[in-house]
Structure 1
Amino acid sequence: MTDFFTDLPQLSGKFNLPQFLAEDNINLETNDVDAIEGQKRIALGNSNLLFNTRVIPNSLLATIPKSQLDILFREVSSPPLQGGYITALKVFFASENIDGVDILTLLYQPVRLFCRFYDGGSLKHMYQIGFSGKIYSFKNDQFVVCQDAEELIKDYTTKIKIKRTTEPGAAFEGYVGGSDTKYMLFPFQLIYTVMSDNDNTILEIKNVATGIRSSADTPFFHSTLLHSPLLGPPRTEDRIFAGFYADRSHLCPPAREIYFGFTRL
């Protein structure tokens, strides 16, 4: 685990998003996920996940340009307040029927989280969602409001099957409410830092299975990795996502309260 506080002035200036300057400066607390580890988790997604009884054919679930992410970010960052909050993107797993075939897809909801209290045990501040924007799908290279989001998200839970271990003969199991992942929560600070560190304006979302939640014997869960193709120099201590994946989303459930370390500028 590596402490890494967002460089908000750099992020704001590089992407012309001054709204970042009003947010709490959070510690992204990244796990270093290099290409080898990232491909391992992607391979587990291929071998340990089934959707509608089929192997998920493409590990790349979405390729989103910065210009479209800007739209969702601005929905929850304006008007800016005087600290005490961060913005984030909920990414839901969902089902979509295309030409009579149900496929895995993603839905997106920008949110603003407000700092509620300081937890002395973890030395972190607890955030809760205080404002939620519209839920969108991403079609034809743009976000569009999704009118049937609740139904599509529910359909996902009936179609996903997960092999919890790599033990020989392990069976695929159905979705467990209150335990399995319904959505992931990515701070916008993380999303834009991933693109910035790679000198890119494209965000990729990869399909994975992982037991990263706690200990090594944790059963596998469905999750995603963020990635941006490297266009700049190799990784340095100041550009920790260059050529790497980002996996510090919050899987919900079971997480009801979101904790971050932060400093205020």
Structure 2
Amino acid sequence: MPEFISDALDVLAHNQTAWDRQAALDCDWSRPVSPETVAAARAGRWSVQLTPGALPDDWLGDVRGRRILCLASAGGQQAPVLAAAGAETTVFDISRRQLDQDRLVADRDGLSLTVAQGDMRDLSMFEDEAFDIVFHPISNHYVPEVKPIWRECFRVLKPGGRMLAGFYNPAIFIGDRDPELVRQGLIRPVYSIPYADATDLAPDALAAKVERGEALVFGHSLTDLVAGQIEAGFVIAGFQEDRPPAPRFLIDHCLPTYLSTLALKT
């Protein structure tokens, strides 16, 4: 087993490299928006996603003049659209190549967009009460602890600010991933929550995943994902479930596996 697996900082470095690779491969979450999408956003016709489905209309509202932090949200998608819609937008991500996609769109379409690189659990480069909105699409399953994210988001939000966060239903992490079970249409629970590739996968499966250059993931509990926001000081004002347009796991056919919350700093 690779030596780095036991070190959370090295897991972070591995996942940074994995997402740099994904950006180079033009994956779904690394494909920059088109000039036409930016032009439409400038004209007031825009949308952004926490999960594959549409956001409730009142979660973001009018973003013109609002200071928005797109957290772990690089890839040239949400941040450029919000900037084109009139927000003062900062995109923060661990992957340099993902951030390059945002730079590409900003340069191509003449957008004012701040780009910063770092760990989503450490926003110390930003002052207290620096933002009106934190927009945090599905990404916190790439770090071993989620509560520091909620605490940092609460700190950097102004009073009256809001955090929009997307994450996986932890149910997706419990199943045996044997391809034969998939072919038989069977779900066999073998893992418990909280889950971590680094400690729960069999050594040969973990080594194979690392060799393929895939990001290592963590399945956080609903207690940490939802109650953790309340513990950080937020009031949960909205909740939404969503389904993937192209299911990857058998369990995707059984229940919504994407979740999102609207949390307020009152």
- With structure 2 as the length reference, what TM-score do the two structures score? 0.23
Q: When you count strand as a share of all residues, which structure comes out higher?
A: 1
Higher helix content, 1 or 2: 2
Greater RCO, CA 8 A, separation 6+: 1
Normalised by the size of structure 1, how large is the TM-score? 0.23
